[in-house]
Each structure stands twice: as structure tokens, then as C-alpha cells.
Chains A and B, each alone.
Chain A
Amino acid sequence: MATQAPVLRLKGVQRRYHDGNDFVEVLSGADLSLARGETIAITGASGSGKSTLLHLAGGMDLPDAGTVEVMGQAINALPEPERTRFRARTIGLVFQDYNLIESLSAAENIELAGWLTGRSIGREPIAALAAELGIAELLDRRPDQLSGGQQQRVAIARALIHEPALVLADEPTGSLDQASAAQVMEVLAATVRKRGLSLVLVTHSEQAAATCDRHTHLERGQLVED
């Protein structure tokens, strides 16, 4: 029986940045493997490279060395347009600052992710997912008419609507108060698990990290599993 490929695999990933005339190595051979339906929290100090890791996992940035595989596909080897299309189909993204399009309603923002995969998503699946996330009554509102917690729920719906295999969440509760943060994490974890998706959660919050199956710490450019 063939072993199912991990949803995400990082092998010896290195990434460094220019800092004036010097280089700063943020990731120095990070390794990670995430199975289907598994959730993992990545914590670390500010500037330790958590977001960089997430950007590499999503194909939004490229490693200087090493491989990033999503669903068995080495995405760092793909040309930019194909990598983008692959990300649209396979990955859902949740940002700290929600990054909703201001001119679109909540429903349109959610629908956007489906449109970018080339699929037409009707009102019903959007309404069903919104009900699950507790924002069913807010679909016609624009982002500036929503609270931070509500906006992040819309962003989660946008990340899930096209049923990706992998969800990457970058400090999804970083801009929220404690109560809202807890609610958002609860909703995110529940909906991801219900759909059997894999989740990489980058966070400072131990409480948020505790909702995941695994917890890994980024230290001196390496991932250290608890």
C-alpha cells in the first residue's frame, strides 16, 4: 500500500535576506512534514522567521536552498504563474490584518477565492460556510462595517470556500482582543478539522497554539518540535 504524501514538506529550507552589505540568515535548513488533516502551530520570537516560513510554504517567496513540497509538488520549482495557480487551488490563506478588499462586500470577498481558481461559487455554499462561521447576517456588509473579529471570520471563509488541502494562517488573532481571538481560533480550528484540512498556524499566542495537534518552535532558523 502506497504511503500518502504529506500535504506540506519542507526539506532543508534556507532563506536569507540582504541587510546592507551583509546577509541575515532567517531560515537555515528548516525541515517540516505535515500530514493530511494535521494541524501545527509554529511559534517563535519576533523576527525569528515565522512569517517567512509561511510565505515559503505558500509559494509567495522562494527559498535560497532546500525544497518546499505541497501535495507532493515541489512548488519552488514551478514558474511563477503556475505556482500562483497552484496556490489558488490548493492553499487557503488567513492574514493577521484580514486583507479584505475594501470595495467588496463580505460575500464578494469570500467568492473572490473561488473566482481566482476559475470556479463559479454560488450563494448557497457561501451562505452555509458563513452560517458555520457565525457571519451569515453580515454577508452584504463591507469590511469597514465589520468588527475585527467579524472581518477575520470573513477572511477564514475566504480561505476555506474553495476547499483547499492546506490552510496557512499568519497570526490570525494578532489584531484581536482576547475574547475575539479565542472565538476566532475556536471557529478556525473547528472548521478546519471538520473538513479534514491541514493547518499551519503561525502565532505568538500559546493559547492559540494549544488548539493545534502539534507545536513547533522556530529557533535560530531551525524548527524544533515540542
Chain B
Amino acid sequence: MLARLSHGYFHRHPAQVLLALVGIAAGIAVVTGVALLRASLMESLDAVSTELAGDRAVTVRHASGRLPIDDYARLARLPGAPDLVPVLRLGARAGDQRIELVGLDPYSGVVAFSETDDAGLAGALFDDDPRANVVASAATLALLGVAPGDGLKLKLGEREVEVQVAAAARARPGLDRRLLLDISELQALSGERGWLSELVAPAGAEAWLQQRLGDDLMLITADAQRAGAGNLTRGMRANLTAMSLLALATGLFVVFSVLSFLMVQRRKTFGLLRALGLTHPALARMLVGEVLLIAAFGGLLGLVVGTLLADRLLMLLARPVAEVYGQLAPAATDPSLALYLVIFLAGLVAAALVTVPVLREAVRIPPGRLVRSIDRPGWPLARALTAALALALVGLVWVLVDGRLVAALGGLFLVLAGAVILIPALGFGLIGVVARHFGRTLAGRALGLLKSARARLAPALSALSLALALAIGMGMMILGFRDIVGDWVVRLLQADLYVSIEGRPMSGEEHARLAALDGVRSLSSVRRVRLADGMRLTAYDLDPESWAGFEMVAGDAQAVWPDFDAGNGVILSEPLARRTGLTVGDTLRMIVPVGPVSLPVLAVFRDYSSEQGFVGLPRVLYDDWYGDGLHDSVGVYLAPGLEATTFAAQLDALSIGGIQWITPPQVQRETLAVFDRTFRISWALALLVGLIALVALTSALLAQGLERSREHATLRALGLPPAGLFRLVTLQSAGLTAVALLAALPLALLIHVALSLLVQPRAFGWSLPLGVPPLEPMLWVVPLALIAGTLTGLYPAWRIVRRPMIDHLRAGR
């Protein structure tokens, strides 16, 4: 009987049910989208070794980053040697897509590719075609627009090569954006004969390898590999998760708003049922059942939409992940049932929890009470202020005693939760003041009537304030950060132009020829290498003029350079210093090609180029350890009066294939373009949160409109024309949006400060000097929000005006 009651009610109020479904679905969709994105990124980062030798595969790398093939031969010939898969990995481009070429020995115990069609990997890779054969996942082939049998042009460094697509592998999306080919073919195509990137072995080989690797070979376990891969994008993933949780919280506001309205609408029925003998537990069971049913349908819808959303987000993220992290994002996400289940159940629990206050209110309705509306006054200002301050205090203490990122995000969430409690008390107080100011005008009446709907509108007001604060605060942080990065690049690049060779480093001989060109006053250079444990080194050979480009956050900027140039220590980028906890005077221990070394930290410098950070190494030490004379990029200081373009004309005379140059302003432009692409996903998520908040506002206004239908009908009967009523409701939505904006502005500043001073340093390792916040986000969010908020009121206003007046005049009968 109770189920029939519920069904009958929902059947008659489909719009309310739809709004509740949209609220929960939107929140779950964003969480699902981001969760799938996270999982895919993680899988992609350690995908190759997993695909080659199973989930617990171990990897052997050389301390220099390049493993001589002789080392592989030595290990493979030892008695009892496990299956070792030699792998050569090289970055390449196919059109505008970044990809990776993975060369391997198809006969050496590869696990995953027995799944390729027909004769397995070896059968697919070897045929009579003179071009190298490649195998890739179906998603990768779709991304590149090719099919088995097609030719594919690739840019490998400065070389242009053509390969043939042999087959589509039924591999996991972790292998997306990777082309597999025979290792000898790749060595021939790239000129990397005699070199490997790594050896991959099954998990069981760990103990055997530990005993037989020399000093210069390092064993990376599956856990270490995964942790290293995870650390790479830890900050980005944490920020995405925080945004998705905020979206869910905003979606739950919609659920709360709609479900509380559904309860209020039926107070009369509940009172009657109680009078007829329905017990509290039975009523509670009925209501919980309804909430769970709506949450379940909304959750399922959210999972479907979230899965579609994930692929869109992935498209936004693919390029920044490659540019900023040097990693390949998968071509498509790979949903798992376990992930879906966790999100679905979490959605049910969250929906049930958020409606607890509403359920408590519903089961407390005294038997026989036939009032139609509630007018919960909400918390008075003093009580709301106390609760908000208490939450803010807990958040602050958490941030102060715990230096982790989770504490920064958790502390910020607590402060925002306090704001959510405080906003209705302040907001409706302000509405009262403004209503009195406007007095007997339509605006004054409209706002005056809003006061009585506080219980209904408070969640929407909080949700909208939160979403607007997030958009403005995040915008301030991003634009402020953008200015900082722009200034940092200009300061860092002290030379007149920078020369490099596409696809390979510059040799010592080429460097010498460059130095001998007319007009060259001096050169600076950098060389980047990665140690086997993933630690990144940047060897600096700096002209004294370049020193001014480094802003030291610890250490004496003047005293450090003579020591550094003499090879007496290293300097650390700020993100690395934060991650390792090292500072000036500490000792850095590394395993380098010549064995373990310990070096003092001379200084810590500001750097925004990578969140994992790197060690700044004196060139003299690099030459001792590597002795290859290579340079990745060379800064050229020109004779006074010589223009960069004039000088660049001489570079052709060097006859170095692929030589290219760039000026500091061009670098700045490209850096900022990468920056903008990196933050595109943040804007997208903020937009989604904003849209969900607008759904919350629409839902609340509709609910308020339905609840106040008799009042509106009375106003119509007393002489308020339809257009007047329409304006009244629209003014109410505009007024609510304006109040939400007012509440959002201080909150936005708080978010900006928290993101800049707490979240950024803890997530990415770099500090952001806090200046005057950029006002642009405010300048475009404020009018946009006012327009959107007013437009949001149009539909509820239209619905309210269309209702037959006389039906609602008698609604109480």
C-alpha cells in the first residue's frame, strides 16, 4: 500500500522526480568521469611493463637511462635466466598526435600479444613488406585514422619514416598511443643500434635479477614503478578529484532541495497516515526507500553520462599530459565494474545521508497535522556563525598540523562547509535589508516574499554561491599563476636566442662550431638526463649572465654560483626540494653511472617546469659521469647590436640537420599556450559545477513556485497581472543570484589564497608569490552569473504564470 502511495505521488509529479534524477546523475557523472580518467592515466603510465610481463612485472634500467644491448646479452646467457623482454621506447609523432614506438623482441616471452589475431605478435610483425610492421590497439588505430594494411607516416626525431599497420592488438587501453614493432626494426629506423630502454621480466625473476645486476643496472619493482608513475601526476589527479567531489556536493544540494520539497508537499498525507496509525519506522522506511530508488536511477544515469564525459575529459587532457608530464594518455578510458560499483554505492550513501534532516522532519510530523508548508526559519546568524567558525577552526588546525595535500584540500572543504552553513543566514538577512530598501516596489515585494521561502531556497543559495566562488577563485588562481609563469619564463631566459636540434641532442663538436660563429659572445647550455630510479638531472653550463635567471627560494643567490660551477654541490628545483624534504646544507644521494654519489645542496630555486622537480647539476660533474659532450639546448648571447634573426641566418651554414632556434618571447608564448591547455580541464570541471548549481537554483525556484502556488494565485486574483507575476518570480531568481554572488566574492578570494598558498605547493611543489588577485574572473563571472541566474528563473516563472489561478486559490480545501 505504501509503495502504491509513493508510486502514485511520483507519477503525478514527474518534473520533481526528473530534477532529483538530474541532480544526482550530474554529480555522479562528474565523479565517474574523473575517476575513470584517473584510472586510465594511472594504467597508461605503467602500461608497457604490465602488458609485456604481467601485473607484477619488474624492470631493469641502466643508471644512464640507456641500456647497452651487451648487458642484456650477458644476463640472457646466464644459467637459469628468466624470460627477459628487451624494450626500446622512443617518442614520435603521427600527424599532430604524440605517440610512442615500443620496439621489442616478439619471440622473447611477451605475455600480452599472444592475443593478437592469427599468428600472434611475431606473425603480425614479420611479412614480406619492406616497411616495418607495427601493431597497435584498436583505439590507437582509430585515433590515428588507419586500419590494418594501411601505411602510416611517422616523424621520429628529424627523420620521416613510413611503417605498415599489420594488426590491431586486443590490448588494454594502457597501451593506447603506442605502436609495437620489432626491436631491430626500431633500432634501424632510429639509429639506436646497440641500445635498449629497459628489460622487462616477470615478477618471479626479481630475486634472480637482484643477485646478478651490476652497480650500473637497477631493478625497479612493480610497486616502485607504479608509485613513481603515480607520483608523476599525483597533484593533477588530486586536484581533479577535489573538483569532482565538489561537483558531487553541488549535485547533492539539488537532491536535498528536491527531496525536501517532495516531503513538504506530502506533509498532509503523512499527518493523515500517522493519524491512521502508521508508525514512525514504517514512514521512515517508505521515505528511505523512495530516496534510494531515485538515487539508484540517478546513479545509473550518472554512470552512463560519466563514462561518456570521461572520454571528453581525456581528449582535453591528452596533450597537456604529454607536454607537461612527458607521458602518453590512453586513447579511451577503460571502465571497470568495481569502479562503477564503488561510485554507485557511494552515491546511494551520500543521497541517503543528505536527506537525513528531511527524513527526520517528515517522521516527526504529528498525527493529523494538516498544514501544507513548513517554514523552518533555519539557523539564526549567531548559531550559523558559531558553526562556521568552528568548522573553519578545525580546517585551519588540520592544515597547520598536517603538511599533506589531503589536509590542504580537507581544510579548504571544511571552511567551505562552514560557509555553506553561514551563507543562508547572511544571505537572507541581506535580502531582508534590500527588500526594505526597495519598499513597495515590485523588487521590494519580490525580495520580501523570498524571505519566507528561506527553508526551500537556502540549499540552492549555498550551492550557487559555492559554484560561483569556485569559478572566480579558481580563475583568479589560474590567471595569477599564468602571470607568474610568464614572468618566470622571461626572467629565466636571459640569452638572446636558444638553439637545439630536433629529435636528438647537440654533440660537443656541433656545440663548438656554434660557439665559433660570428657574433657569438658566449653560450650557456642545458643537458637533461634521467637516472634509472626516475630522478631527473639537468646539467647547467651557464654564462654568468644566466645566473640572474634563477630566483633562489633558499640559499645565497650570489655565493652559490662559484661553488656550483666548481662542482662542489647541486641546486634543487623547488618541487624536488619539497618532495624530498631536502634544503640548503643537506646532502643529496644518487646512484649515477659512476656509482653512488653524495652531494651537498647549495640552493633551492623557483621552477614551474615540472611538478616532480629535478636536480640542477654542474656541467663539470655531468662530463665526469657521462662524458658524451651532449647538450639539449644552447642559449646564445650575441654581440651588442646583433639581432637574433640576423644571427640565425648563419645557422644554416653549420649544415646540421634539424637545427632550430627560438627567441625568449616565442618560448614565453609557447609556454603559456601549454599552460592554457593544461588548465582547460579545470575550466571544464568548474563549468560543470556551475551548471549543476544552476540546476539546483531551477529546482529550488520550481519547488518554491509549487509550494507558493496559492500565494501566487492570490496575488493574481487580487490584481497582479501575469506579466507582473512573471517579473516578480524572475526578479526573485535575479535577486538570489545577486546575493549568491555577493556571498561568493569573499569566498572566491579565500579559495584563491588557499589554492595559491596551500594546494599548489602541496600538490605540485611550487610556491606562488601572492600578489593582487587578477580581477578578470570577477568581471566576466559576475555579469554571466547574473544573466544565467535570471534566465534560470524564466522557466519557473513561465510555469507559475501558466498555472490556472482558480485551482490554486482553493488548494487548501
Contact = CB atoms under 8 A, between A and B. Distances in A.
A186 interface: no
A85 B719 CA distance: 6
Interface stretch (A65-73, A97-105, A123-131, A202-210): A97-105
A60 interface: yes
Nearest to B805: A60
Nearest to A115: B440
A77 interface: no
Nearest to B812: A97
A58 interface: yes
Given A97-B813, A102-B711, A103-B449, A113 B718 contact: yes
B714 A101 contact: yes
A55 interface: yes
A84 B375 contact: no
Output the residue of B448, B717, B812, B813 with the most chain A CB within 10 A: B717
B806 to A, nearest CB: 5
A16 B745 CA distance: 56
Interface string B680-720: 00000000000000000000000000000011011111111
A89 interface: yes
Contacts of B805: 60
B719 A116 contact: yes
A88 B720 CA distance: 8
A115 to B, nearest CB: 5
Nearest to A86: B719
A89 B813 contact: no
Interface in A94-139: 95-97, 99-104, 108, 111-113, 115-117, 120
A84 B449 contact: no
Contacts of A47: none
B289 interface: no
A99 B710 contact: yes
B448 A103 contact: yes
Contacts of B716: 60, 84
Interface string B712-734: 01111111111100000000000
Interface in B445-464: 445, 448-449, 451-453
Contacts of B809: 60, 95, 99
B64 interface: no
Interface string B786-806: 000000000000000000011
B452 A87 contact: no
Contacts of A58: 717
Contacts of B714: 95, 99-101
A48 interface: no
A216 interface: no
Contacts of B375: 102, 144
B373 interface: yes
Contacts of B813: 96-97
A125 to B, nearest CB: 15
A61 B718 contact: no
Contacts, number: 77
A187 to B, nearest CB: 20
Interface string A25-54: 000000000000000000000000001000
A20 interface: no
B810 interface: yes
A116 B717 CA distance: 10
A104 B812 CA distance: 19
Contacts of A60: 716-717, 805-806, 809
A81 B717 contact: no
A102 B719 contact: no
A104 B719 contact: no
Contacts of A225: none
Contacts of B719: 84-85, 87-89, 113, 116-117
Given A88-B718, A97-B813, A103-B449, A81 B723 contact: yes
Interface in A170-193: none
Contacts of B451: 103
B445 A115 contact: yes
Nearest to A83: B721
Given A60-B805, A88-B718, A104 B448 contact: yes
A58 B809 CA distance: 13
B711 to A, nearest CB: 5
Contact of A116 (B718, B723, B810, B812): B718
A197 interface: no
B448 A51 contact: no
B463 to A, nearest CB: 23
A116 B449 contact: no
Nearest to B804: A61
A184 B717 CA distance: 22
A101 B806 contact: no
B373 A102 contact: yes
B11 to A, nearest CB: 18
B695 to A, nearest CB: 26
A16 to B, nearest CB: 15
A183 B150 CA distance: 96
B721 A85 contact: yes
Contacts of A87: 717-719
A49 B445 CA distance: 34
A120 B723 CA distance: 21
A80 interface: yes
Contacts of B810: 51, 96-97
Contacts of B717: 58, 60, 87, 93, 95, 99
B452 A84 contact: no
Nearest to A79: B721
Contacts of A153: none
A113 B440 CA distance: 12
A101 B440 contact: no
A11 B567 CA distance: 109
A80 B448 CA distance: 26
Contacts of A113: 718-719
B806 A80 contact: no
A99 B714 CA distance: 6
B452 A102 contact: yes
A215 interface: no
A18 B14 CA distance: 23
A158 interface: yes
Interface in B219-265: none
B711 A84 contact: no
A117 B718 CA distance: 9
Contacts of A99: 710-711, 713-714, 717, 809
Contacts of A120: 440
A17 B279 CA distance: 41
A100 B717 CA distance: 12
A97 B449 CA distance: 19
A120 B715 CA distance: 17
22 contacts: A51-B806, A60-B805, A61-B806, A84-B721, A89-B719, A95-B717, A97-B810, A99-B711, A99-B713, A100-B714, A101-B452, A101-B714, A101-B715, A103-B451, A103-B453, A112-B718, A113-B719, A115-B445, A116-B719, A117-B719, A120-B440, A158-B718
Given A61-B806, A99-B710, A111-B440, 5 more contacts: A85-B719, A87-B717, A97-B812, A103-B449, A103-B451
Interface of B: 373, 375, 440, 445, 448-449, 451-453, 710-711, 713-723, 805-806, 809-810, 812-813
Q: Top 3 nearest A-B pairs by Cβ distance?
A: A88-B719, A103-B452, A116-B719
